[in-house]
């Protein structure tokens, strides 16, 4: 085999390897964006449920205006506070805390706990919370893959050349905030069950 042929084969193999590395980085970045989009869909669903939930409890919780206002305020902050996953996670944690307070106060109103509209909304919210957690795990898994590709050799060279940046995980900041509201209202006498995810 002639040296020129060998050199062309080596260059061709290196070129294909570089293309593969670049395409792998692009695929990982697209998956992260897709996963973030899934989170946003579930958060929007949650935001849309909250006004109906507040309307259903207003008539019962006449002395709990501060709790209702806090839920409304944190919902508005979460909707308007879109930005980095870190900022979004902080806003969502505050909203989860406000909802947890609302459900705790609702325990003092047996008629409210028996209201079918309220129960349906809580079931929807519970389902949405579960989907948010699943979307969060999917997003963080894709961020891990992308960040690993950006850090390991030789794809880190390709990432540096083409300006690929590491993404931020969508995490809960402290242990107290890790407790997500999970409500089981299959029986109106049951109280909301809070579990950690």
Integer Cα distance of 36 and 30 in angstroms:
10
Q: Hey, CA dihedral for 142, 95, 93, 126, is it positive or negative?
A: negative
Of residues 193 and 100, the one with the higher pLDDT is 100
Kindly tell me the number of DSSP H helices and DSSP E strands found in the chain. 6, 2
| Domain edges within the chain | 3-196
Residue pair 85/168 in contact by the 8 Å Cβ criterion:
yes
Please report which helix (H) or strand (E) contains residue 195, including its range. strand 194-196
Query: For residue 181, what are its two tokens?
Result: 């509201």
pLDDT tens-digit readout, 164-186: 999 999 886 544 444 555 555 45
The domain defined by 3-196 folds into de novo design (two linked rop proteins) (1.20.1440)
The pTM for the full model equals: 0.74
| Residues 33-74 pLDDT 10s | 999 999 999 999 999 999 988 888 887 777 778 888 899 999
| Cα distance between residue 96 and residue 84, in whole Å | 18
Residue identified by tokens 């891990």 is 144
């Amino acid at each position: 085999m002639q040296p020129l042929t060998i050199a062309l084969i080596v260059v061709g193999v290196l070129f294909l390897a570089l293309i593969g590395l670049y395409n792998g980085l692009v695929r990982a970045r697209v998956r992260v964006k897709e996963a973030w989009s899934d989170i946003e869909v579930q958060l929007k669903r949650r935001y849309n449920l909250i006004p109906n939930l507040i309307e259903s409890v207003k008539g019962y919780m006449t002395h709990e205006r501060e709790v209702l206002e806090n839920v409304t305020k944190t919902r508005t902050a979460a909707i308007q506070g879109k930005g980095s996953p870190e900022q979004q996670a902080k806003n969502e944690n505050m909203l989860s805390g406000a909802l947890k307070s609302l459900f705790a106060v609702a325990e003092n109103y047996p008629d409210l706990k028996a209201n079918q509209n309220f129960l349906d909304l809580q079931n929807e919210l519970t389902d949405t919370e579960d989907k948010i957690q699943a979307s969060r795990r999917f997003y963080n898994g894709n961020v891990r893959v992308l960040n690993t590709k950006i850090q390991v050799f030789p794809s880190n060279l390709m990432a540096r050349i083409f300006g690929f940046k590491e993404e931020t995980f969508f995490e809960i900041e402290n242990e107290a905030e890790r407790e997500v509201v999970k409500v089981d209202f299959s029986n109106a006498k049951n109280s909301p069950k809070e579990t950690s995810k």
